[in-house]
Amino acid sequence: MTHKKQFDSPPRRVALFVTCMVDMLYPEVGMATVELLERHGVEVVFPAEQTCCGQPAFNSGFWEEARPLARRFVDIFEPLVRQKQVDAVVAPSGSCTTMTSHFYQLLLENEPAYRERAAFLGAATFELTEFLVDVLGVTDVGARFDGRLTYHACCHLLRELGIDRQPRALLDAVEGADLVAMTGADECCGFGGLFAIKNGGISTAMGQRKAQNIAKSDADAVALCDVSCMTHINGLLSREGQRCRAVHIAQVLTNQVDVAARPASDEVAPESKAAPRRWQDDKVKG
């Protein structure tokens, strides 16, 4: 476990580790992250060399294939922190933050130099909500959400990084949001990387249980901190024709989520009412 970097003065500039999934699938989450950081006086730098941290390979046992990506990641981000060009690295993902700040220690066990650099970098790498709440001391970002909102605690975020209070505090402060509890909010949605393919049946069963709990919560949207779990949950909700959608917390905090009127009780729920914008009409936010 790495010890997090302490700041004497408020950080002014951070490097964004956008993660490959956000980059390719959900650019609006990346933009929302930038907006949140800039709004609180933090300049954002985007090292364009970044690709993927290597988690899919590491997670499925292909450590040999994951190592070059880990070294590459360290080579890109560590000098920025070491040379004080940025004060920290921020990622809108609990899972990718876990990979780079915890699992690199295991992956690079036999490469002491890289391992030490990865530890140094890991201490300065923060998940978005952790950075907002613990480092910047912000909980109310001035967001508004008119509807019922629930929270799903992603596994790596909760149990590897121990982050739970921070996203909940941010959601608590969202004006107009009717926060509802969900049964099994801290239970895995069944994604698990390649697990979702290799053990598709089990993964689906877990996801269906999650989808049931979401339906029971009667929320308009489920906020969470990882787009991987979001993809899985939405994949199920969409297939089942449920109205509710999972959305990244940064989207909620930047008012990116539209909530349409709830259907009258006897009406069949129309699909995708509470979807984030892109999910609905594929409009890209510039």
List binders of another protein among 131-160 (CB under 8 A).
155-156, 158-160
Interface with another protein includes 25 (CB under 8 A)? yes
| Contact mark string toward another protein, 91..130, x via CB under 8 A | ------------x--x------------------------
| DSSP H or E segment with residue 23 | helix 20-24
Instruction: Give the ranges where 83-192 is alpha helix by DSSP (H).
Output: 94-98, 104-107, 112-123, 128-130, 155, 165-172
Which parts of 158-177 interact with another protein (CB under 8 A)?
158-160
Q: Is 104 exposed, middle or buried (0-12, 13-18, 19+ CB in 10 A)?
A: buried
If one asks whether residue 182 binds another protein (CB under 8 A), the answer comes out as no
Contacting another protein (CB under 8 A), which of 93, 203, 228, 256?
203
Interface region with another protein, contact rule CB under 8 A, candidates 39-47, 138-146, 216-224, 248-256:
39-47
CB of 141 vs another protein, minimal distance in Å: 20
- The beta-strand segments (E) located in the chain are 13-16, 43-45, 88-91, 125-127, 144-151, 175-179, 221-224, 245-248
Q: Identify residues 221-260 at the interface with another protein (CB under 8 A).
A: 231-232, 234-236, 238-239
| Residue found by looking up tokens 């917390």 in the block | 249
CB-nearer residue toward another protein: 174 or 228: 228
Would you count residue 1 as binding another protein (CB under 8 A)? no
Cβ(138)–Cβ(132) under 8 Å?
Answer: yes
Query: x/- site string to another protein, residues 51 to 70, per CB under 8 A?
Result: xx-x-xxxxxxxxxxx-xx-
CB atoms within 10 A of CB 266: 5
At 232, list the tokens.
């899985």
> Minimum distance from CB of 265 to another protein (Å)?
26
Cα separations (Å) of 227 from 97, 192, 195, 233? 13, 12, 16, 10
In whole angstroms, the minimum distance from the beta carbon of 110 to another protein comes to 12
Of 10 and 241, nearer to another protein (C-beta) is 241
